[in-house]
């Protein structure tokens, strides 16, 4: 996790990477010896593409700790980074991280610029129309927070207030009353009369509070992201219980090369990582000992 003293360096480095997101990436990790990408891939399919390239290009967020962040030395670190690296390793491939904007990732139509998203993306019915998803690799509580300057300490206290969220996120969908997880859709409702306002990522809402912004009182993000911001000393408090739990999965672009054999291998790997305890260990590593691989955490 980042410290307060590293925030400015991190944001400066992140902007450099984001500016060249179509080509800017971290060095590829070497494939693991003896690993296999599975049976002969479908010619021209996604598994064929990554096998020939020797690596998987993974989209990530450079400023979303503890899920992912760009360190000052130019490397990426975080829970999602470790999960993506382990998936690539089990496929016998390297991994390369690129940093397109979140709304670009969730819109589909990647055009071959990257192969897979391992970016804590929530599975929703609308997204399933344009993206293929692995089984969820973990679940996170969606947590409301308030600025200390607002004096708000309860969820009801945000009634009629402005709440900051990231663009193209399930947090924005929930505030607008259109969140659709299918059968897992939450029954909770946003504070009465609240109004959403967006930043390019929800983490930037908290950073803007730190910089002195006062045009919103609330912030909705993942519980780990809120906890990390509080530990860094940002001026906010968590309010109320989690408003819902997000099923988070790796995603593939349906409009790109045939994903069928890659998806089958990816899904098997995620299941293996659940069964052998890898995901639990990574969750505990990055989330202060919590196991977020089940809906209620632990």
Output the tens digit of pLDDT for each of the chain's 298 residues.
333 333 333 333 333 333 333 333 444 444 443 334 446 899 999 999 999 999 999 999 999 999 999 999 999 999 999 999 999 999 999 999 999 999 999 999 999 999 999 999 989 999 999 999 999 999 989 999 999 999 999 999 999 999 999 999 999 999 999 998 876 788 899 999 999 999 999 989 999 998 999 999 999 999 989 999 999 999 999 999 999 988 999 999 999 999 999 999 999 999 999 999 999 999 999 999 999 998 765 4
Q: Single out the residue of 281, 282, 297 nearest to residue 141, CA to CA.
A: 297
- Give Cα 230 distance to the centre of its chain: 19
Tally of domains within the chain: 2
Q: Single out the residue of 173, 172, 166, 155 nearest to residue 218, CA to CA.
A: 155
| Antiparallel, parallel or unpaired: β 116-122 and 55-59 | parallel
Establish if 298 belongs to a structural domain: no
What is the value of pTM for the model shown? 0.72
275 in the same domain as 132: yes
265 in the same domain as 203: no
- Residue range of the domain that includes 17: 4-138+247-286
229 in the same domain as 160: yes
Establish if 294 belongs to a structural domain: no
125 in the same domain as 239: no
Domain CATH code at residue 123:
3.40.190.10
121 in the same domain as 24: yes
């Amino acid at each position: 996790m980042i410290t307060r003293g590293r925030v400015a360096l991190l944001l400066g480095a992140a902007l450099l990477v984001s500016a060249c997101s179509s080509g800017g990436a971290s060095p590829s990790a070497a494939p693991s010896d003896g690993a296999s990408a599975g049976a002969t891939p479908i010619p021209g399919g996604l598994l064929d593409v990554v096998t020939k390239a020797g690596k998987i290009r993974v989209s990530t967020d450079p400023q979303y700790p503890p899920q992912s962040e760009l360190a000052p030395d130019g490397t990426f670190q975080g829970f999602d980074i470790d999960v993506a690296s382990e998936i690539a390793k089990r496929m016998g491939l390297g991994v390369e991280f690129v940093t397109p904007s979140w709304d670009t990732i969730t819109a589909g139509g990647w055009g071959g610029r990257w192969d897979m998203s391992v970016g804590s993306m929530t599975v929703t019915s609308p997204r399933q129309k344009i993206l293929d998803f692995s089984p969820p690799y973990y679940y996170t509580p969606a947590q409301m927070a308030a600025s200390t300057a607002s004096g708000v300490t309860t969820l009801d206290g945000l009634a009629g207030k402005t709440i900051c969220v990231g663009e193209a996120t399930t947090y924005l969908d929930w505030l607008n009353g259109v969140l659709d997880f299918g059968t897992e859709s939450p029954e909770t409702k946003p504070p009465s009369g609240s109004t959403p306002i967006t930043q390019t990522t929800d983490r930037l809402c908290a950073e803007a509070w730190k910089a002195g912004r006062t045009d919103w009182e609330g912030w909705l993000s993942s519980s780990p992201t809120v906890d990390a911001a509080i530990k860094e000393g940002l001026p906010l408090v968590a309010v109320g219980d989690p408003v819902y739990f997000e099923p988070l999965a790796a995603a593939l672009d349906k409009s790109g090369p045939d994903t069928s054999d890659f998806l089958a291998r990816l899904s098997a790997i995620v299941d293996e990582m659940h069964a052998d305890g890898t995901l639990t260990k990574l969750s505990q590593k990055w989330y202060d000992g919590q196991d977020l691989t089940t809906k209620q955490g632990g």
